[in-house]
Amino acid sequence: MTATTDGGGAITDGADPRHDTAAAPAAAAAGPSGEDTGLPKAVRDAADRATRELLDRQDTAGWWKGDLQTNVTMDAEDLLLRQFLGIRDEETTRAAALFIRGEQQPDGTWATFHGGPPEISATIEAYVALRLAGDAPDAPHMARASAWIRDQGGIASARVFTRIWLALFGWWSWDHLPELPPELVFLPPWVPLNIYDFGCWARQTIVPLTVVSALRPVCPAPFTLDELRTGDHDAYPAKPLAPAASWDGIFQRMDKALHLYRRVAPRRLRKAAMAAAGRWIVERQENDGCWGGIQPPAVYSVIALHLLGYDLGHPVMRAGLESLDRFAVWREDGARMVEACQSPVWDTCLAAIALADAGVRPDHPALVKAADWMLGEEVRRSGDWAVRRPGLAPGGWAFEFHNDTYPDVDDTAEVVLALRRIRHPEPGKVDAAIDRGVSWTLGMQSGDGAWAAFDADNTSPLPNRLPFCDFGEVIDPPSADVTAHVVEMLAAEGKADDPRTRRGIAWLLAEQEPEGCWFGRWGTNYVYGTGSVVPALTAAGISPGHPAVRRAVRWLESVQNEDGGWGEDQRSYRDRAWAGKGASTASQTAWALMALLAAGEREGEAVRRGLAYLVETQRPDGTWDEPYFTGTGFPWDFSINYHLYRQVFPLTALGRYLYGDPLTPARTARHTGGAAPAAVTAEEA
């Protein structure tokens, strides 16, 4: 039987057990203030189609998860790992090569995001992987790639991580790589450049790489890479020493000293350091066998432990390799794509928010099942975050299926917002989990009043200066998008006037860019930041007429595309001229709409055109197409296409246009008249 809608557009279908037979709540039958909205039927129909499609995607266990697409270095490094361990098989190789070839651009190169420019390291790694798969170097697609690589300076132009992979097979000299001494693990947290000065993702990668760097293994290469070399065997281009008084000069000289140190390092000390690193790695292996729930640390941890004597049959190694297999997505054409990470907690809380905001009843079985699953994923033990917050009780949620060592503030805030939208049969159970999550989040506030994703006060500038760190962010400073999600969550919990919330609000107001937007650390980019901050500010009581909100509205209106949508290219992370500019996407259009709706622009022309874009680009099955990468791992360096973003965010925007934000009444009751919280100064207001 076909699902239908009631007068307010809420899904109703007595024949389908996923849908509730009762009508939507009264607030859903009209706009936020109770008036007849007079919405175009097309908008309601689009929301209903998207709702049905999202409900159909839910796993029987209660979670949602879309593919997390990055770039071909994940697939190439997976093959190189298997080659190094001697476990590469024909089926995996064939399927990985099929995917890698399919991502090659006409000029023979590979990019790191859809429509992006060629990238030297990705192209080198993809080329080497195809050589492993048997592609001949004189094949046209390979010849185009190798010619481009040589034109860019050959393999000497690759980043450090790529050259580490090449060194594992003797294609590059270990002498020409930055030194990473395992003795690093002995540095206490108060010493500069200790491992806890690095963001958790970098920390998990660096510790195993200290073992690899110390042992310098070389697996016999199955072929040469002479076709990628320039000059006399790619003599490593020595950079001129920077002035000794500069940070670059200091770290260059430090690296030279560390290369000398490895020759005289006390054998017992080095052996003890590698053993300590091995214990650190094993202690952080998750229940599913992975490390941190992300592929790169898992790969390097497997290599390090193998070098320390763990054979492939050891339970730690077996579990680690099995976890890497679970990152593989097998496509209908037989290709195999490797995810860098999996995002079920993030996807599930966003899906629950979208469905609730689109008028699905709060006690709908799908939402209750999602709540049960999220409650089961609560992190109840301490992790690395406790190094900086030793007295803080655990709580909160991680991003992945298993990552109890590294819960994150962003997921915790959004899970709380999702749970508050669901009418669970055991409200006390929900309240207790939320209380723990809120307390943990408040304890993770950094000294400047804002919040980062994984750690508090992880802001030392020194790690980024290391010669080793030439790829992506290695620290975890506070960001506007994470801080906004926390402020929005705290407002929903009745803490808009809490001094800690007000400090977060003041930080957000101070971080607004001159144009009126906010930088987006974990989503692309200024559209994401702005789409996160404006709803948070208004939820916390900042008036839609506040100058900061009006500047944001004007900026969003100024960057709206001719087709009515919004888009922003990853290049905005390097070039501000790209801020708010790029092909329209469903997810970025939704972020802009969420900000404009929160700013009171429901009847505005920009909102109307944005809604029309979503309606017109929706497929008949309720989905949207989105090849562009709108997620961010490392700004510019590591881009993500979350395949569920194109569903959850448009549905959220459509739902908020139809019914308003379901948590808004409680918020506005606490801040009548839109007055700014007391901690916001008169100048800021």
Residues designated as active site: 410
Residue 54 CB partners (closer than 8 Å, separation 6+): 64, 351, 354, 355, 622, 647, 648, 651
Both tokens assigned to 579: 């801020």
Distance between CA atoms of residues 367 and 418, nearest Å: 9
- Strands in 202-335 per DSSP E: 328-330
| Inter-residue contact 425 to 431 (CB < 8 Å) | no
H helix or E strand, kind and range, residue 633: strand 631-634
Distance of CA 183 to the CA centre of its chain: 31
Q: Which residue has the tokens 């562009």?
A: 628
Residue 206, number of CB atoms within 10 A of its CB: 23
Cα separation, 439 vs 444, in Å, equals: 9
Angle (CA) 77-81-82 rounded to 5° is 120
Which residue reads 């790969």 in tokens? 299
Maximum alpha-carbon separation in the chain: 80
CA distance 101 to 129: 10
Q: What is the dihedral of CA 455, 388, 192, 409, to 10 degrees?
A: 0
CA–CA distance, 318 with 119 (Å, rounded to integer): 34
Residue with tokens 């450049």: 193
State the alpha helices, DSSP H only, in 40-159.
41-57, 73-85, 90-102, 120-132, 140-151
Q: Tokens representing 30? A: 């009209």
- In this structure, what are the phi and psi dihedrals at residue 208, rounded to the nearest 5 degrees? -65, -30
CA distances from 624 to 137, 329, 480, 615 (A): 39, 20, 27, 10
β-pairing verdict for 4-5 and 11-12: antiparallel
Number of alpha carbons in the 13 Å side-chain half-sphere of residue 201 = 20
Residue 367 to residue 361: CA distance in whole angstroms: 8
Tokens, residue 314: 């050891």
Total residue count of the chain as it appears in this document: 685
Give the H or E element holding residue 338. strand 336-338
Of all helices (H) and strands (E), which one includes residue 259? helix 247-264
d(CA 308, CA 51): 51
Enumerate residues 6+ apart whose C-beta is below 8 A from 60. none
- Sign, CA dihedral 226-227-233-235, equals negative
Query: 3-class DSSP state for residue 243?
Result: coil
- Residue 292 CA to residue 286 CA, distance in Å, equals 7
Q: Which of 298, 262, 358, 303 is nearest to 47 (CA)?
A: 358
Whether the Cβ atoms of residue 347 and residue 648 lie closer than 8 Å to each other: yes
Q: Which two tokens stand for residue 472?
A: 């992506």
Tell me the backbone φ, ψ of residue 390, rounded to 5 degrees.
Answer: -65, -30
Angle at which helices 526-539 and 480-492 cross, to 10° = 20
